[in-house]
């Protein structure tokens, strides 16, 4: 999946907006909330390359691809968000 042409015009602004919305709505979609993450290593038990879903919150990668995981499954515990 690729971002829309409008979002690709200003990826930083789109990511900032997404970060604010994900915080406001307590959107859980990252490894920290996933049942498949191995807490000791932060790696995915299914082998998914999760470097896209750790670090800064973003919706769009530099190459225009969306940051998402097709294997995401909400875990039993969900971390608190500031």
How much is the pLDDT for 49?
A: 80
How much is the pLDDT for 70?
A: 84
Who wins on pLDDT, 76 or 74?
Answer: 74
Those residues whose C-beta lies under 8 Å from the C-beta of residue 18, and which sit 6 or more positions away, are 57, 58, 59, 60
- What is the pTM assigned to this prediction? 0.74
CA dihedral 49, 2, 5, 51 (to 10 degrees): -10
| Residue 67 scores a pLDDT above 70 | yes
CA distances from 52 to 33, 48 (A): 14, 10
- pLDDT class of 76 with cuts at 50, 70, 90: confident
Domain residue spans of the chain: 1-82
At 44-57, the pLDDT tens digits run: 999 888 777 778 88
């Amino acid at each position: 999946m690729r971002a829309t042409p409008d979002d690709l015009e200003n990826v930083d602004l789109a990511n900032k907006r997404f970060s604010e919305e994900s915080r406001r709505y307590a959107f859980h979609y990252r490894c920290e909330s996933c049942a498949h993450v191995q807490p000791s290593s932060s790696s995915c038990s299914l082998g998914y390359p999760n470097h896209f879903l750790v670090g800064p919150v973003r919706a769009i990668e530099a190459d225009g691809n969306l940051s998402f995981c097709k294997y995401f499954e909400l875990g039993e515990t969900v971390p608190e968000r500031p």
